[in-house]
A and B are shown apart, each in its own frame.
Chain A
Amino acid sequence: MSFFLETLAGGLLAGVMYALVAIGFVLVYKASGVFNFAQGAMVLCAALTFVTLRERGIDLWLSGLITLAILVALAVAVERVVLRPLANRPQITLFMATLGLSYVIEGTSQLLMGASVHELDLGIPDTPIELGPIQLSQFDLAAAATAGALVIALSLFFDRTRIGLSLRAVADDPGAALSIGIRLQTLWAVVWAVAGFVALVAGLLWGARQGVQFSLTFVVLKALPVLIIGGFTSIAGAVVGGLIVGASDSLAEIYLGPLLGGSVSTWFAYVLAVAFLLARPAGLFGERAIERV
Chain B
Amino acid sequence: MTILTRAIRAAAVTASFALAAPASAGDAKEQYFPLATFRVGAYASSGIPSWAGVIDYLRYINEVEGGINGVKLFWDECETEWAVEKGVECYERVKGGKNGSPVAVFLPHGDPVSKALTEKSVADRIPLITTGYGRTEAIDGRVFPYSFTVLFSFWSEASSVVNYIAEQVGGKDKLKGVKIATIYHDSPYGKETQTPLDILSKEYGFENIQIPVPHPGNDQSAQWARVRQIKPDWVFLRGWGVMTPVAIKTAAKTGFPVNRIIGGIWSGSEEDVRPAGSVGKGYLAITPFPAGQDFEILKKIKAEIVDKNRSDLRDPKSFGSVYYNSGIIETIIAVEAIRTAQGRFGNRPITGEEAQWGLEHLVLDEARLKQIGAEGLVQPLTLSIKDHEGGGAGKVLQWDGAKWAIVSNGWVKSDRELLLPLIYERAAAYAKEKGIVPRTAESAEASAR
Contact = CB atoms under 8 A, between A and B. Distances in A.
A209 interface: yes
A88 interface: no
A38 to B, nearest CB: 17
A206 B212 contact: no
Nearest to A261: B212
A266 B214 CA distance: 6
Contact of A211 (B216, B254, B274): B274
Interface string B25-57: 000000000000001111011001000000000
A11 interface: yes
Contact of A210 (B245, B253, B279, B315): B245
B225 A110 contact: no
Interface string B185-229: 010000000000000000000000011111110110111011011
Interface string A110-123: 10001111111100
B242 interface: yes
A116 B218 contact: no
A14 B219 contact: yes
B255 A135 contact: yes
Contacts of B222: 7, 10-11, 249-254, 257, 265
Contact of B45 (A127, A135, A206, A213): A213
Interface stretch (A58-66, A214-222, A282-290): A214-222
A222 B275 contact: no
A12 B252 CA distance: 19
A81 to B, nearest CB: 23
A209 B279 CA distance: 11
Contacts, number: 126
Contacts of B279: 126-127
A257 B228 CA distance: 16
B164 to A, nearest CB: 25
A116 B45 contact: yes
A232 interface: no
A139 interface: yes
B253 A137 contact: yes
Contacts of B275: 117-120, 210-213
A250 B255 CA distance: 18
- Sorting the interface of chain B by its residue count into under 10, 10 to 19, 20 to 34 or 35 or more gives 35 or more
A99 B315 CA distance: 31
A116 B242 contact: no
Which secondary structure characterizes the binding site on chain A?
helix
B249 interface: yes
Contacts of A210: 218, 242, 245-246, 249, 275
Nearest to A3: B229
A114 B314 contact: yes
B274 A119 contact: yes
A128 B225 CA distance: 12
Interface string A260-283: 011101100000000000000000
B66 interface: no
A17 interface: yes
29 contacts: A6-B225, A10-B222, A10-B225, A11-B221, A116-B45, A116-B48, A116-B315, A119-B275, A126-B249, A127-B252, A210-B242, A211-B242, A211-B274, A212-B275, A213-B42, A213-B45, A215-B216, A215-B218, A215-B241, A218-B218, A219-B218, A222-B218, A249-B222, A250-B222, A253-B222, A263-B212, A265-B219, A266-B186, A266-B215
Interface of A: 3, 6-7, 10-11, 13-14, 17, 110, 114-121, 126-128, 135, 137, 139-140, 206, 209-215, 218-219, 222, 249-254, 257, 261-263, 265-266
Interface of B: 39-42, 44-45, 48, 186, 210-216, 218-219, 221-223, 225-226, 228-229, 241-242, 245-246, 249, 252-255, 271, 274-279, 314-315
Given A6-B225, A210-B246, 11 more contacts: A3-B229, A10-B221, A10-B225, A110-B40, A116-B44, A137-B254, A211-B274, A214-B45, A250-B221, A262-B211, A262-B212
Q: Which 9 A-B pairs have the closest CB atoms?
A: A211-B275, A115-B44, A253-B222, A262-B212, A215-B242, A263-B214, A10-B221, A266-B214, A137-B253
